[in-house]
Amino acid sequence: MKGVMGKILKVNLTAREWSEEQIDEGIYDQFLGGIGLATYILHRDIQKGADPLGPENVLGFVPGALTGTGSFVTGRFLVTGKSPLTGGWGDSNCGGNFSPGIKQAGYDGIFFYGTSSEPVYLFIDNKGPQILDASEYWGTTDAVDTEQQLIEKHTLRKKPVCVTIGEAAEKLSLISGIVNDKGRIAARSGLGAVMGSKKLKAVVLAGSKKIPVAKPDKMKEISTEYANKVRVMNLPGFVKGSTFPLVGKALGLNMRTPMNGIAMVGIFKKYGTIFANLSGLNGDLPVKNWALSTKHFKKKAKKTNPDLQLKKETNKYHCSSCNIGCGGEADISNIGDGAFKTTHKPEYETVASFGSLLLSNDLDGIYYINEICNRAGLDTISAGNTMAYAYECYEKGIITKEDTGGLELKWGQVDTAIEVLKQMIRREGFGALLADGVKAATRKIPGSEDCAMHAGGQEPGMHDPRFESGMGLHMSVDPTPGKHTVGAETYYMSTAVWNYCSWAPKQKLESKSHEQEATHEGAWKNVAMSAMKQLVDCSGGCLFAMLTGFNNWRLFDWLNAATGMEKSGDQLMEIGLRVQTMRQMFNIREGIDPWKNKMADRVIGRPPLPDGPTKGNSFDLEGQMQLYWEKIGWDRETGVPTRETLEKLNILQYTEA
């Protein structure tokens, strides 16, 4: 198969040896690449019951099947392994510039086994892999500076790309991630701690292998069509930051309609995700540790107007192969103590996690926190949720000044959060109690369970299921729970997936009132949502490109043109179903009860909010989970994939213990 490199690199850190493994065509045919390939390797090579922070865990870096083949917005990579945060399948999707470097090094994945006794990093150039000493960086140099120094050190003819970990991962924080391109983070699932446990400080890639493409002219034809569509989609001048509450209200109307997703491009090009700072006032934005409605943040939110963030922006930022460019870079040399010169523009997730969730609108403080987290390699979503948990514990008297070392955790105060955050990263003082996220904190702070918002151990992304129930369902039903990027009804309606997949229900113009209930059609949509997202993650694609619609961002056609396959939409979606089921089977094998991945009651409206745009909202999560399981072919009572499904997807041989 073209599009892929045909082999993976396996690095044994204990023995300091490496080997290559050729991957059979049949495996690509079944799993494609990216996350799919990782499910095959990790099922095979991680033994049941493995300690996520022990040598038996396997940490994988996988680019997508489309990465580097001439398609757009397909330059992302995934980090995979057994998650120390959830105890089950862990993956984290990341942009930046690292992904094509894996293929240019000659591989469809780099997998790390064992544990080094001393800090090391992996360097690959066209001569091959080398495992090198990293002790000068370990404990001394943050993720951003390490990346810069290693790139300088290894730049000969070509500047390498690099992933690194910071102090949080070195100290095995279960909410730490892996950093590339000065602050794009594979943040979820706590996989930074896995890298830290292996004493692997960085991976530096400077290869220049050619990536084979089956039909380059066809690739160019599809890419040109997409580029032409994206180029002309610009926001009209009257759309300012202050108009986004209205956009949010429109999204909050009791209506679903098929949407041409390309319309979103103008917003992404100008603002990126931060439009949601204000559109989220429709009820999507979580407030005060998920305890209040957006009504209570409306006035404060004005100071998070996305136009204020554009004023700080010095440069737009594009991840590898992206023709949209939703990211940005900002000058922060005049913020706080001036310790940092620049940072990536904080995403909506970070603005909400350390903003509304703490009842704060201190945008400068959020920029400063963003850079602290980037350099330490800390997941801003999990860290923000954990901070909000601590603030609520303090408010309720569950913890006092005696516990916090004299710090007063008062809602709205970001300065205190910065101090606690630094302690979390260093695992010192009060911060040590919080360093591993909310679930671990509840074991150290008795009586605090009701303040801890998580699904299966992972803190939720900043989109409120009381605004959109599908978000709560996917946060609960996905094998990596708590993620906001795996599915939602709003996502579905712009994908046009029904044009490619015979069983995916066509989005009609309809009321969304029924979404609170479990319906057969809703369940099929949610299953299709999971399948397409896994297919995107096999390809190295981006969620935001997916939201521009498969009729515009022609993933299915690119996949066939790049690989030379001639698969139908249904056959490609079956790969997505296979990968989703492999991920679930990993959890089952590890003894995780799928019911235990249910999102925390408060987040799903139990009890409902008494006011605001989502007043009274709750939904039948259990019923929706059961219907999802039934439609995808998992047992509707237990969430365990049935033998019939494993046989149908031809994965029984990979999943039998």
Nearer to other proteins among residue 68 and residue 461 (C-beta):
68
- Which of 417, 367, 370, 391 minimizes the C-alpha distance to 288? 391
Residues 65, 314: Cα–Cα separation, whole Å: 33
Q: Nearest to residue 78, comparing CAs of 124, 30, 31? A: 31
Q: Which is closer to other proteins, CB of 249 or CB of 318?
A: 318
Q: Minimum distance between the CB of residue 103 and other proteins, rounded to whole angstroms?
A: 10
- How near is the Cβ of 182 to other proteins at its closest, in Å? 13
- ω before 607 within 30° of 0 (cis)? yes
Output the smallest distance, CB 522 to other proteins, in A.
36
- If the CB atoms of residues 116 and 223 are measured against other proteins, the closer one turns out to be 223
Using CB under 8 A, list all residues that contact other proteins. 68, 70-72, 75, 97, 100, 104, 155, 157-159, 208, 219-220, 223-224, 227, 230-231, 269-270, 313-316, 318, 320-323, 325
**C-alpha–C-alpha distance, residues 279 and 250, integer Å:** 9
Q: Compare residues 59 and 206 and give the one whose CB is closer to other proteins.
A: 206
Quote the least distance from Cβ 644 to other proteins, whole Å: 42
- Angle of helix 414-426 versus helix 380-395 axis, rounded to 10: 110
Whose Cβ is closer to other proteins: residue 34's or residue 612's?
Answer: 34
Q: Which is nearer to other proteins, 156 or 509 (CB)?
A: 156
Nearest distance in Å: CB 456, other proteins: 36
Helix (H) or strand (E) holding 164: strand 161-164
- Phi/psi at 163 (5° precision): -115, 145
For residue 101, the minimal CB distance to other proteins (Å) is 8
Q: How far is CA 225 from the centre of its chain?
A: 28
Measured from the CB atom, the residue of 71 and 180 that comes closer to other proteins is 71
Q: Burial code of 609-628, b = ≥16 C-beta within 10 A, e = fewer? A: beebbbeebbbbbeebbbbb
Does an H or E element contain 652, and which?
helix 652-655
- Shortest distance (Å) from residue 566 CB to other proteins: 22
Q: How far is the CB of 268 from other proteins (least distance, A)?
A: 11
Query: By C-beta, is 5 or 528 nearer to other proteins?
Result: 5
Cβ–Cβ < 8 Å for 573, 535: yes
Closest CB to other proteins among residues 435, 546: 546
DSSP letters spanning 479-548: SSTT-SSS--HHHHHTT-GGGT-TTSPPP-SB-SGGGGS--HHHHHHHHHHHHHHHHHHHHT--HHHHHT
Question: Is the CB of residue 521 less than 8 Å from the CB of residue 489?
Answer: no
Q: From the CB of 94, what's the least distance to other proteins, in Å?
A: 16
| Residue placing its CB nearer to other proteins in the complex, 561 or 585 | 561
Min CB(75)–other proteins separation in Å: 8
| Contacts of residue 431, Cβ cutoff 8 Å, sequence gap at least 6 | 420, 421, 422, 423, 424, 425
Taking residue 242's Cβ as centre, other Cβ atoms within 10 Å add up to: 12
Dist. CA 395–CA 390, nearest whole Å: 9
Q: 175 and 431 in contact (C-beta within 8 Å)?
A: no
